[in-house]
C-alpha cells in the first residue's frame, strides 16, 4: 500500500476502529458475569450444539431473505423439511453487535446470489478454524439470546447493525425447537432481563431443551411399547439387536461409521452428513 494521503487517512481510521472495538470488548468483559463463556455454551447446548461438530452461521441483521423473496430451491427445501420433520432445522439463536466476529468466520463459497442470503457473512466451525477453537469460544461476550433485550449502551459502543447467529438443530428436535424460542420470548415479556447479570433464566428454559424433549418423547414411546408388549416380542428383539449394534458403533472410533449411524437414526440431516463426511475425508 502506497503512502498517499488517502491511504494514510484510511489506515488511521482502521487503527482507530480496532482500538475502539478493543476498548468496547474490554468494557463488556468487565460488565458480564464472570462465567459468561460457560453460560453461552450451556445455552447453545439446549439447541443440540456440539462443539466439535456444530456449524454456527453469521448473518448481518436485517438481510435475511423474506419468504416472498426466496428462490424456488429454498421454497422446495422448506416444504420438504416441514413435511419430513414437522419443521425446519434452521433457527436463530441470538445476536452480537461486535464486528470482530467477522474476522473469525469462514467465508462462504461463492454461489448463485439468488440461492444465498445477501447478509450471510460466513460460519464458525471448529474443523475449519486455524486454531481449532470451539465456536462458543469465538462468539463475542456481548452475545444475547434470541428475543432477550440487547443493552442499549453496548449497542452505542459498537454502532453496528448487528449480527444474527444461527444453526441447524438435529432433525429430531426440528419440530420442538420453537417451544424453546417461545419460552425465551415469554421471559422477555414477563419482566426486565439484564443480560449482563448471571443467566438464571437458563433454569427456566432447560425443560424445553433438546435433551429433555427427546427424553420425554422416548418415555412416551417406551410407554406405548410397554402397553403392547404381548404382541411385539419379535419387534423388541429387533430393537435390542439394533441398539446393541449402535452401541458397538459408538464405541468404535471410526468417525465415518458414527456419522452414518447418526444419519440412519435421524440425528443429523443429509446436508449435515455430507458436510461432516467431506470434513473427515479432507
The reply to whether 143 and 240 lie within a common domain is no
- Per-residue pLDDT tens over the stretch 164-175: 999 999 888 888
Contact 241, 204 (CB under 8 A): no
Q: Of 190, 205, 227, which one is at a domain's C-terminal end?
A: 227
Q: Which of 78, 51, 264, 254 is nearest to 174 (CA)?
A: 78
For CA atoms 46, 52, 55, 61, give the dihedral sign.
positive
Q: Of 227, 246, 274, which one is at a domain's C-terminal end?
A: 227
pLDDT at 164: 95
Q: Read off the C-alpha cell for 206.
A: 432447560
As a whole number, mean pLDDT of residues 186-206 equals 92
- Per-residue pLDDT tens over the stretch 249-274: 344 445 567 667 767 766 666 766 76
The reply to whether 178 and 249 lie within a common domain is no
Distance CA 263, CA 73 (A): 23
Instruction: Confirm whether 2 is domain-assigned.
Output: no
Instruction: Confirm whether 48 is domain-assigned.
Output: yes
The reply to whether 145 and 266 lie within a common domain is no
Q: Which of 52, 92, 126, 84 is nearest to 266 (CA)?
A: 84
Instruction: Confirm whether 256 is domain-assigned.
Output: yes
The reply to whether 93 and 17 lie within a common domain is yes
The reply to whether 24 and 72 lie within a common domain is yes
Q: Of 212, 227, 242, which one is at a domain's C-terminal end?
A: 227
Give the 3-state secondary structure of 107-136. Answer: CCCCCCHHHCCCCEEEEECHHHCCCCCCHH
Q: How far, rounded to the nearest angstrom, does the alpha carbon of residue 237 sit from its chain's CA centroid?
A: 37
Domain residue limits at 126: 7-227
Instruction: Confirm whether 87 is domain-assigned.
Output: yes
Distance CA 119, CA 58 (A): 9
Amino acid at each position: 500500500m502506497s503512502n498517499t494521503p488517502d491511504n494514510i487517512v484510511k489506515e488511521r481510521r482502521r487503527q482507530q476502529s480496532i482500538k475502539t472495538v478493543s476498548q468496547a470488548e474490554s468494557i463488556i468483559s468487565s460488565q458480564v458475569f464472570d462465567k459468561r463463556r460457560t453460560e453461552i455454551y450451556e445455552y447453545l447446548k439446549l439447541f443440540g450444539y456440539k462443539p466439535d461438530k456444530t456449524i454456527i452461521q453469521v448473518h448481518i441483521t436485517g438481510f435475511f431473505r423474506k419468504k416472498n423473496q426466496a428462490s424456488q430451491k429454498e421454497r422446495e427445501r422448506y416444504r420438504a423439511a416441514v413435511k419430513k420433520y414437522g419443521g425446519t432445522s434452521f433457527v436463530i439463536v441470538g445476536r452480537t453487535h461486535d464486528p470482530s466476529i467477522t474476522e473469525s468466520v469462514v467465508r462462504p463459497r461463492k454461489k448463485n446470489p439468488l440461492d444465498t442470503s445477501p447478509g450471510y457473512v460466513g460460519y464458525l466451525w471448529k474443523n475449519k478454524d486455524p486454531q481449532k477453537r470451539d465456536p462458543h469460544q469465538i462468539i463475542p461476550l456481548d452475545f444475547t439470546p434470541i428475543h432477550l433485550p440487547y443493552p442499549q449502551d453496548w449497542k452505542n459502543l459498537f454502532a453496528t447493525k448487528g449480527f444474527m447467529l444461527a444453526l441447524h438443530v438435529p432433525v429430531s428436535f426440528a419440530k420442538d425447537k420453537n417451544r424453546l424460542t417461545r419460552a425465551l420470548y415469554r421471559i422477555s415479556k414477563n419482566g426486565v432481563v439484564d443480560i449482563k447479570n448471571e443467566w438464571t433464566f437458563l433454569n427456566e428454559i432447560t425443560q424445553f431443551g433438546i435433551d429433555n424433549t427427546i427424553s420425554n418423547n422416548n418415555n412416551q414411546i417406551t410407554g406405548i411399547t410397554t402397553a403392547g408388549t404381548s404382541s411385539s416380542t419379535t419387534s423388541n428383539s429387533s430393537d435390542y439387536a439394533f441398539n446393541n449394534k449402535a452401541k458397538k458403533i459408538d464405541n468404535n472410533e471410526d468417525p465415518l461409521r458414527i456419522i452414518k449411524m447418526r444419519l440412519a437414526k435421524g440425528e443429523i440431516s443429509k446436508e449435515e452428513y455430507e458436510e461432516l463426511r467431506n470434513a473427515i475425508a479432507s
